[in-house]
Structure 1
């Protein structure tokens, strides 16, 4: 069927290119506004207790403060006449802003907790309303207007709203820098790998189709559901990378089918194209299915941050495969032997570029298979040593700590944590959902104030400390259908103590249903949302990958071998990332602050890297299975298969790694971790795993490599997904 399809492409190539160009233009128009439709959050489970608490606060109490303005007196104390006058003006002006509510400041409320211990700083708290896009736009405008240096006060912006603005700004800047690095470098490397300018431009064409098409998809999805802005980063890196992977395989096979340049007329273009689509095209179809399957696991998680990467990842994989199987064959049909145009001077005329057998990879496979145990043991031990930091891994969620120390969001958060009696970022919110009489509310608030590390509990019934009412309460915290309580603490946000306090508050008896929120409550709920669904996500990846690899190879051993090696390579990569980003060994060089591994980003990397590893698995094992099916002994099939695919896999991995490593220049630490982690995992997989461990294990298994029970063999015979 694919052979006939390739013949059809050759006959209708120009029509297909015209239609594809029109569709690409339409996708470009549809995707032009993608940034304006994407959101900056998505790290919380919408069904969690902390999300319910936040929802009730927004609906009934005007919202939780998400913008913090830290005001420092230019001279002396914030109680000086000039500072007090400027603070009162700042508070009044902020109250008059559209979309801003619950503005409270030290100067308006006179609450000592809103002034720093040394008297130099005071804070203004406000809630910026709207959906995430509206909050980001409003916060950006407010920060530009109020976070300025005046004659009496110098103001900096912090809090969740300001941090989101900082992160989104840095992400957009990081994306531009990464693309400015990756695209020219990738083009240079493509010219070196292919040996001709025309061939080198083809992978960029497929990558461009994948990126533009996925931007259109995300723009349309963003109009009907929440999609994270960080999906853009995956789209550009994965679109360019998969475009290179698939085009490299297709163009290399096309060159191979055409024959060695300069040696006779070779195979006719139509026949070479049909054979290329029938072989490399089948591999691309299957490789795309494995990557897309791995990314579907992200759909089981309730955080739209992770679900967004499934939308982007599946979209970019499918569109890249369509580009490689529709647009690229049409281009090859039109170019024919001109695919070699623009040959670089140093390339020998008899060299078929990445299509040629690689003596290095062939010799490496032969050497490994002569002494498989001796070759594999040091590699396995090295990967296990690299994985060892995982024994002390800790997980967290993004906050201002992902920004560099000099950013305003970081400065404000650090000052709140060290300079004020109570840490506003670590406070616990409690919402009582229902009418509560005054005595019951008083007893509940007093009981909470006796918990360890609680400085004070503010409610409409009074402000309590140590079980005793110390001041009158805040009437604005009371509603006919509920009550709100603010639990103040000097604990550091996202610390073990902060999480223990949340659990203690949740365990306390409440007169009506209580919902507990705040920074640490969100961390607990997010971690639970991911960890509780992680087994399902892993099961989806493992079972689907096993089934697809079986259908491709006809063996039940090869999928098991691939899964074990993938886990080993992934563990080594995650161990290195823990050593770098949690333990901070390269913090000064990469300019980030060591912090726990980001839970959502770790899951994301697992799915992406797992899928890409299977991509290269398909490239290699597909050729080995093809050669073995033609009658070659297993050892010879491995040696020849690695000789013919080793250069393709290593070149594809190098080019894809460049796209990911470019994110190491980001000023947002979890993007650095994502880029460096994916790039490192790809290099490890394409070299140590495919180059050494696969030949060693296949040699050791011998005839067992192709074992399959008779009923499964019959299923495979009917499906026939392998290259042949």
Structure 2
């Protein structure tokens, strides 16, 4: 397959380039339509109690969305301001699609005790189509914003999703403006020429287009989280640069052995292209763990990110060879060091780790375990507007209400659906809970709404949900609301996580065995990767959950991580770690096939891949760091987790722990039982040997 791709790219380079240009136009034309379809609601899990109760209420008691406005900054009793507010309320009530707007001056609880703020909730009719709801929401928001006061903010409902979508689009644009020039500058340092440095950016732009198209396609059938756009774009950009970097470094090496550009391209695709192919498949397999979860958000994220990975892989295997065929003749071959040994620093690190293998393992492993300790206290939450950047209107509304109103104001209630046939004593106990308000539904059911103490998903709220579920026993009573959905999401994660892990680990083991022919190398790889992943996630918990140094990132300790962060960090970081492992294993395998001894091959593998792995990790860190400038707490968490995972894995783990553990295993590292060896000989795929350079003796 790789030889076919290489031949196609070199025989018809212009055709391949034009096809990719068409893909780019689709991605940046049609694909960017996803920004208008983003949702801030991700914790829904089909089949859970909270979701079934929501669906029941939507059928028997359809209610429209609600947006909330806050007016603050001066005494709301001022006659001129009161006249403005009352006039605005009256006019909003007349807007088509608006169901109710209470008068804040006559409704208890809507004016702050300090008299410096008031709240105006606007409820829309249920059953409105998308266009009608959008028109009604915009008309109501625009009219309220005409009130002349120091602080007027409107958000919530359908309006919140659009506000976040616009902010996400702005953040992606800013991240690209920051990251692409920095990446180009670093590539100029790596390659020493603009032509070679620009090619990875062309592949990176293809990755971004792929991210937009993949998300747009999935938005046709499911909700797409506002956070998905940043995650898929940063990964698409980062992996594209990674793969292009690997291919270009190999192309420059092959140019040392041939003056024919087409032949160098074929050799590059046959050698490094196989690594890219395996890497892309491995990253995609790492993301299949997300498909095990019934959460629509996690499944759509897994599929979308996997689609982006495939686009990056195909761009590296088709578009880049076509570009090299047209322009590669002017890219200089890699320079040969006078002493004949490239990557001297990485060779020294590998030799040091091999000689001091016990000391290295005894130092690195405990250090990573210490960093991973906070993971034992990890908890997740849906969160509130504190997760949003201070410049978003939703956050400004939240801060204003928090400043002027008592804690818990505006917190969504816990909703209890008491179905017909429920024991009267049970229904009475639930209705008698503090702060409970009941109303009858068509069909004989009763809805009980209870205002939770504290935050919408805090311990007090979740404890109250658990108490209600204990009270109802086996009666036909269902609990929904934000806190109930969080509990159901946590239970779903706990139930499915072992199966997700088993699926991913089995797939990774099979792929690494096919690549290496060993059963011990996959086990060693998985163990060392879990160490770096645990360390990165532990730091994220320490910063964002516990609040240590969070201010340096423009965030604050929230007491819990976003429910989106841990599964995405684990799935994506695991795949990226496999990416670098394959870069190194490919070179080790190649050295062994040239006849080098096992420990010599380990040093040669690090010597020839260390620079690529280090540069790739640095470039990825730049990309992730650029996306962390947006200020969304879930993106900050994911960005920091992936940055740390990549840097720890590419430095401490791959440069020290890998050679130390390989030296400890010795010749047994490449061992496999005879039956599996026969299977690998028949079906396994290995890195093709390059135009050989002489093996470098290992100095131990």
Cα 1:210–1:155 change in 2 (3 A) is closer
- Give the structure 2 partner of residue 46 of structure 1: 46
Residue 360 of structure 1 deviates from its aligned partner by: 0.9
Task: Please say if residues 416 and 425 of structure 1, whose CA atoms lie closer than 8 Å, have aligned partners that are also in contact.
Answer: no
- Give the structure 1 partner of residue 123 of structure 2: 127
**TM-score, scaled to structure 2:** 0.89
Measured in 2, the distance between the counterparts of 1:495 and 1:669 equals 17
- Give the structure 2 partner of residue 430 of structure 1: 416
Q: The residue matched to 1:15 in structure 2 has which SS?
A: helix
- Give the structure 2 partner of residue 297 of structure 1: 289
Residue 290 of structure 1 deviates from its aligned partner by: 0.4
1:448 aligns with 2:448: no
Cα 1:5–1:194 change in 2 (3 A) is same
Residue 544 of structure 1 deviates from its aligned partner by: 0.4
Cα 1:312–1:83 change in 2 (3 A) is same
- Give the structure 2 partner of residue 278 of structure 1: 270
- Give the structure 2 partner of residue 392 of structure 1: 377
Cα 1:336–1:181 change in 2 (3 A) is closer
Residue 103 of structure 1 deviates from its aligned partner by: 3.8
State which of 459, 467, 484 in structure 2 corresponds to 1:521. 484
- Give the structure 1 partner of residue 516 of structure 2: 553
1:374 aligns with 2:371: no
Q: The residue matched to 1:492 in structure 2 has which SS?
A: coil
- Give the structure 2 partner of residue 464 of structure 1: none
Measured in 2, the distance between the counterparts of 1:416 and 1:659 equals 36
1:452-601 alignment runs, 5 A limit: 454=434, 456-460=435-439, 477-509=440-472, 513-595=476-558, 596-601=560-565
- Give the structure 2 partner of residue 338 of structure 1: 330
Cα 1:420–1:131 change in 2 (3 A) is farther
Bigger mean CA deviation after superposition, 520-529 or 187-196: 520-529
Residue 556 of structure 1 deviates from its aligned partner by: 0.6
Residue 717 of structure 1 deviates from its aligned partner by: 0.6
Task: Please say if residues 390 and 574 of structure 1, whose CA atoms lie closer than 8 Å, have aligned partners that are also in contact.
Answer: yes
Bigger mean CA deviation after superposition, 396-405 or 601-610: 396-405
Task: Please say if residues 542 and 548 of structure 2, whose CA atoms lie closer than 8 Å, have aligned partners that are also in contact.
Answer: yes
- Give the structure 2 partner of residue 465 of structure 1: none
Task: Please say if residues 69 and 158 of structure 1, whose CA atoms lie closer than 8 Å, have aligned partners that are also in contact.
Answer: yes
State which of 336, 339, 343 in structure 2 corresponds to 1:358. 343
- Give the structure 1 partner of residue 199 of structure 2: 202
Cα 1:577–1:8 change in 2 (3 A) is same
Measured in 2, the distance between the counterparts of 1:302 and 1:101 equals 35
Cα 1:76–1:449 change in 2 (3 A) is same
Q: The residue matched to 2:450 in structure 1 has which SS?
A: strand
Q: Gapped runs of 5+ residues in structure 1?
A: 261-265, 342-347, 461-476
Cα 1:509–1:84 change in 2 (3 A) is farther
Q: What are the superposed Cα offsets for residues 252-272 of structure 1, whole Å, 9 maximum, x if unpaired?
A: 111111107xxxxx3532322
1:701 aligns with 2:665: yes
Measured in 1, the distance between the counterparts of 2:326 and 2:637 equals 42
Cα 1:186–1:532 change in 2 (3 A) is same
Task: Please say if residues 9 and 326 of structure 1, whose CA atoms lie closer than 8 Å, have aligned partners that are also in contact.
Answer: yes
Q: The residue matched to 1:430 in structure 2 has which SS?
A: strand
Q: The residue matched to 1:508 in structure 2 has which SS?
A: helix
Q: What are the superposed Cα offsets for residues 92-129 of structure 1, whole Å, 9 maximum, x if unpaired?
A: 33333344435445446x4x344444455443333356
Task: Please say if residues 106 and 114 of structure 1, whose CA atoms lie closer than 8 Å, have aligned partners that are also in contact.
Answer: yes
Cα 1:157–1:512 change in 2 (3 A) is farther
Residue 326 of structure 1 deviates from its aligned partner by: 0.9
Measured in 2, the distance between the counterparts of 1:511 and 1:7 equals 67
- Give the structure 2 partner of residue 6 of structure 1: 6
Measured in 2, the distance between the counterparts of 1:507 and 1:594 equals 31
Residue 68 of structure 1 deviates from its aligned partner by: 2.5
Residue 169 of structure 1 deviates from its aligned partner by: 3.6
- Give the structure 2 partner of residue 326 of structure 1: 318
1:187 aligns with 2:166: no
- Give the structure 2 partner of residue 268 of structure 1: 260
Measured in 2, the distance between the counterparts of 1:209 and 1:687 equals 28
Task: Please say if residues 5 and 317 of structure 2, whose CA atoms lie closer than 8 Å, have aligned partners that are also in contact.
Answer: no
Bigger mean CA deviation after superposition, 692-701 or 413-422: 413-422
Task: Please say if residues 63 and 101 of structure 1, whose CA atoms lie closer than 8 Å, have aligned partners that are also in contact.
Answer: no
Measured in 1, the distance between the counterparts of 2:312 and 2:70 equals 48
Bigger mean CA deviation after superposition, 356-365 or 419-428: 419-428
Task: Please say if residues 374 and 539 of structure 2, whose CA atoms lie closer than 8 Å, have aligned partners that are also in contact.
Answer: yes
Measured in 2, the distance between the counterparts of 1:131 and 1:715 equals 58
Cα 1:250–1:388 change in 2 (3 A) is same
Cα 1:411–1:622 change in 2 (3 A) is same
Residue 654 of structure 1 deviates from its aligned partner by: 0.8
Measured in 2, the distance between the counterparts of 1:497 and 1:637 equals 58
Measured in 2, the distance between the counterparts of 1:131 and 1:207 equals 38
Residue 196 of structure 1 deviates from its aligned partner by: 1.1
Cα 1:106–1:431 change in 2 (3 A) is farther
Residue 551 of structure 1 deviates from its aligned partner by: 0.7
Cα 1:114–1:337 change in 2 (3 A) is same
Bigger mean CA deviation after superposition, 238-247 or 121-130: 121-130
Q: Gapped runs of 5+ residues in structure 2?
A: 689-700
Measured in 2, the distance between the counterparts of 1:319 and 1:184 equals 22
Q: What are the superposed Cα offsets for residues 652-684 of structure 1, whole Å, 9 maximum, x if unpaired?
A: 111111111112212211111111221121111
Q: What are the superposed Cα offsets for residues 11-63 of structure 1, whole Å, 9 maximum, x if unpaired?
A: 33333333433444344443242322443433322332223333333443342
Measured in 1, the distance between the counterparts of 2:614 and 2:129 equals 45
- Give the structure 1 partner of residue 34 of structure 2: 34
Cα 1:336–1:247 change in 2 (3 A) is same
Cα 1:211–1:511 change in 2 (3 A) is closer
Measured in 2, the distance between the counterparts of 1:423 and 1:623 equals 60
Task: Please say if residues 41 and 225 of structure 2, whose CA atoms lie closer than 8 Å, have aligned partners that are also in contact.
Answer: yes
Measured in 1, the distance between the counterparts of 2:105 and 2:164 equals 30
Q: The residue matched to 1:594 in structure 2 has which SS?
A: coil
- Give the structure 2 partner of residue 92 of structure 1: 90
**TM-score, scaled to structure 1:** 0.87
Residue 426 of structure 1 deviates from its aligned partner by: 4.7
Cα 1:84–1:5 change in 2 (3 A) is closer
Task: Please say if residues 158 and 410 of structure 1, whose CA atoms lie closer than 8 Å, have aligned partners that are also in contact.
Answer: no
Bigger mean CA deviation after superposition, 360-369 or 480-489: 480-489
Cα 1:82–1:293 change in 2 (3 A) is same
Measured in 2, the distance between the counterparts of 1:690 and 1:31 equals 37
Cα 1:131–1:230 change in 2 (3 A) is farther
Residue 505 of structure 1 deviates from its aligned partner by: 2.1
Measured in 2, the distance between the counterparts of 1:494 and 1:30 equals 37
Provide the aligned length of Structure 1 versus Structure 2: 683
Cα 1:492–1:317 change in 2 (3 A) is closer
Cα 1:168–1:137 change in 2 (3 A) is farther
Measured in 2, the distance between the counterparts of 1:38 and 1:514 equals 33
1:641 aligns with 2:605: yes
1:155-174 alignment runs, 5 A limit: 155-159=152-156, 163-174=160-171
Measured in 2, the distance between the counterparts of 1:509 and 1:675 equals 42
Residue 277 of structure 1 deviates from its aligned partner by: 1.2
